[in-house]
Structure 1
Amino acid sequence: MAAENTFRQWKKQCLSKMDFSKKGNVDEHILHIVGFINESKSYFTTSSCSGRIILIDGICDSPDVQKQNCSWLFVTHSKCEKKDVMSGVERACGDAVFKFEPFVLHVQCKRLEDAQLLHSVAINAGFRNSGITVGKKGKIIMAVRSTHCLEVPLSHKGHVLVNEQYIDFLVEVANKKMEENQRRIERFYCCLQSAVAAENSLCMNTDATTDKSTYTRRRRRTQDKAPKASSQSPEDAV
């Protein structure tokens, strides 16, 4: 009971916090998934991204283009167009990197069994880089992740390294990955609905069996305690 109360408190605190992500809200393509998970008593989401195609202008000679000093030249959570990528590359002053990042979802789970159920759903839907972590305070986090990423440098110190034909090719590859990403998201949602429904049905049947067993035991104890009828006939009692 204490663990359940703690989980409820964590959930309330997390879902009431402001969204400090760059976008500021949940991506439209996964609103149904996030809503479904957060309505469950066993789960709540801590972060998410439906998948995106981005062009980042990083610092020259920096080993990590995702540092705070980098700027986003272009981003979309749907398929992209070549003109948008070209426009972004032309504005780059440092090392521009074109990336596709697939759907990612972090979910805190009440029990390890709940995390294992979600992990199975994710793997079956094609998110084969998914995993479970358990924190020091007992927080169980299930991360839904995929491996079909893309990351390509397009410029260095503001100088474009590739021609327009290659950018055409990259856009085509990234858009195909986005299409596959969206198919996996829908598979994940369908599998999740089925798995949760099956789990709830199993729990209801288990509870019903437990209640019936408890009733039977109580009835037997009541019968055992009841006074037994005398085997004497009226004549013998006189």
Structure 2
Amino acid sequence: MEVENTFKQWKKQCLNKIDFSKKGSVDEDITNIVSVLNDSEKYFTTSSCSGRIIVIDGVSDCLDVQKQNCSWLFVTHQKCQKTDLVTALERSCGDVIFKFEPFILHVQCRQLGDAQLLHSVAVESGFRNSGITVGKKGKIIMAVRSTHCLEVPLSRKGQVLVSSDYIEFLVEVANQKMIENLRRIERFFECLQSAMHHEDLHCTSSEAVKEKSVYKRRRKRTQDSPVEACQSSNDATLSDEDNGLQNGMDLFT
């Protein structure tokens, strides 16, 4: 109970915090995923990005660029065009890097079993670099990650290092990666819904069987004599222990 209350407190604090990301809100392509997880009693999201194509101006000697805070020359969570990169390069006098970063999601989980379920969903959806970490205070974090990234330098101290044809080629590659990224996000959402629905059905079925079993035992006790009722109660206790052992064995089959 204490662990559950602590998890609820962590969830409340996290979801009530101000979003300090550059965008300031959840990306449109993953709002459904974030909503499903945050509506669950077992999870809440701590950070997320649907995937993006960005042009970054690195270390620069150009004071105008630094003053204008233009280290991010271009960013989109959808496909990009060649003109986007060309315009970004024209605005830079530093070291420009072109990047594609796939979908990433960090989720805090109530129990390790919940994290393992989410990890299975992620791997099944193509995010095979996903993993689980457990902090010193018992925080269980499940990270959904992928490896199909892209990072290419475009200029050095304001001098463009690549041709126009190569820029066009990079745009095609990045856009293909974005398309695949969105496909994996869709698969993740479908697998997540299926897994959570199956888990809910399993819990409901277990509770129904338990309630039915208790009802039968109580009915039998009222019909038996005091001695028989006592014996029936002992048998029921043993039966519960056997069921517990059987359930425990099922975990390892």
Which residue in 2 is equivalent to 1:64? none
Structure 2 residue 143 is matched with structure 1 residue 143: yes
- Structure 1 residue 223: Cα displacement: 3.9
- Provide the secondary structure at the position in 2 that maps to 1:54: strand
Which residue in 2 is equivalent to 1:108? 108
Structure 2 residue 120 is matched with structure 1 residue 120: yes
Cα deviation digits, residues 179-217 of structure 1 (max 9, x gap): 000000000000000000000000001111111222233
Structure 2 residue 72 is matched with structure 1 residue 72: yes
- CA distance in 2 between partners of 1:123 and 1:60 (Å): 40
Please give the residue correspondences for 1:89-238 in structure 2 after superposition, counting only pairs within 5 Å.
89-224=89-224, 226=226
Cα deviation digits, residues 139-182 of structure 1 (max 9, x gap): 11000000000000000111110011000000000000000000
| Alignment length (residue pairs) | 221
- Structure 1 residue 225: Cα displacement: 5.1
Cα deviation digits, residues 99-149 of structure 1 (max 9, x gap): 000000000110111100000000000000000000111111000000000
Contact map agreement 1:93 1:158 (CA 8 A) in 2: yes
**Unpaired segments ≥5 residues, structure 1:** 62-68, 229-238
Structure 2 residue 56 is matched with structure 1 residue 56: yes
Structure number with higher helix proportion: 2
- Structure 1 residue 218: Cα displacement: 3.0
Contact map agreement 1:55 1:85 (CA 8 A) in 2: yes
- Structure 1 residue 226: Cα displacement: 4.0
- CA distance in 2 between partners of 1:113 and 1:225 (Å): 44
Contact map agreement 1:58 1:70 (CA 8 A) in 2: no
Output the amino acid matched with 1:40.
Answer: S
TM-score calculated relative to the size of structure 2: 0.84
Q: CA RMSD in A?
A: 1.7
TM-score calculated relative to the size of structure 1: 0.89
Contact map agreement 1:60 1:156 (CA 8 A) in 2: no
**Unpaired segments ≥5 residues, structure 2:** 62-68, 229-253
- Provide the secondary structure at the position in 2 that maps to 1:32: helix
- CA distance in 2 between partners of 1:93 and 1:60 (Å): 7
